[in-house]
Amino acid sequence: MKNNNWVRGAMLLAVGLVLQALRLVIPMPPMWTVFVVGTLVNMVLVLAARTVGLWPSVMIAVLLPVMAYFQGQLPLPFLIPVVAVGNLVMVYLCARFWGKGIIIAAPLFKTFILYCSSLFVLWLVAVPEKLALFILFIMGWPQMITGILGLVLAYKLHKRIFPDTAE
């Protein structure tokens, strides 16, 4: 069963990478990209937390921002650990509190971590003001929206794939 989780985790990572790459092949305005791709990536993170266990989910949570940087979606390499930690918070809270009525805490905490960590990184690294403001905006309320939408999509998809186990 454990190997099965790693295989499913690898498949979810591949799905996440493909969904993340949509921004490279489908021309969308930047804000649409944030909301569409962000929602789909959060959906993958939640599905991983629900179906493959902790370590494969950690792998997905860490590798997706690395690839986002190489795709040119993260403007600074210092943001890779910021996004990875935000993803890890989302994965952990979804795995831990699913079905306990407080799952909405996952996107809220993820947004808080991303925004505060981005503030810290931007305080450490000198970047142009326009770029800093854009990064802070993207790491703010859009993350909460995409996290909530990702939760909803993952819940609906999980319910369709595993109708006996969905809560």
Is 74 among the domain residues? yes
User: How many folded domains does the chain comprise?
Assistant: 1
Q: Give, in degrees to the nearest 5, the angle at Cα 98 between 156 and 118.
A: 95
Residue 164: per-residue pLDDT: 65
Is 156 among the domain residues? yes
Which residue shows structure tokens 């993952």? 154
| Domain with 33 in it | 2-161
Q: Is the pLDDT of residue 142 over 70?
A: yes
Residue 28: per-residue pLDDT: 83
CATH number of the domain to which 25 belongs: 1.10.1760.20
Q: How far is 146 from 127, CA to CA, in rounded Å?
A: 26
| Cα atoms found within 13 Å of the Cα of residue 141, Cβ hemisphere only | 0
Strands (E), the chain: none
Rounded to two decimals, the pTM is: 0.91
Is 166 among the domain residues? no
The predicted-structure confidence for 94-137, as pLDDT tens digits, reads as follows 988 877 766 788 999 999 999 999 999 999 998 999 999 999 99
- Say if CB 85 and CB 153 are below 8 A apart: no
Averaged over 63-76, what is the pLDDT?
Answer: 92
Q: Write the CA distances from 51 to 41, 63, 99, 148, integer angstroms.
A: 15, 18, 14, 19
Nearest CA to 146 out of 3, 56, 33 is that of: 33
Residue 3: per-residue pLDDT: 72
Is 167 among the domain residues? no
Is 146 among the domain residues? yes
Residue 37: per-residue pLDDT: 94
Is 144 among the domain residues? yes
Q: Is the pLDDT of residue 1 over 60?
A: no
Q: Is the pLDDT of residue 167 over 80?
A: no
Structure tokens at 50: 């629900």
Q: Is the pLDDT of residue 58 over 60?
A: yes
Averaged over 64-79, what is the pLDDT?
Answer: 93
Q: Is the pLDDT of residue 89 over 90?
A: yes
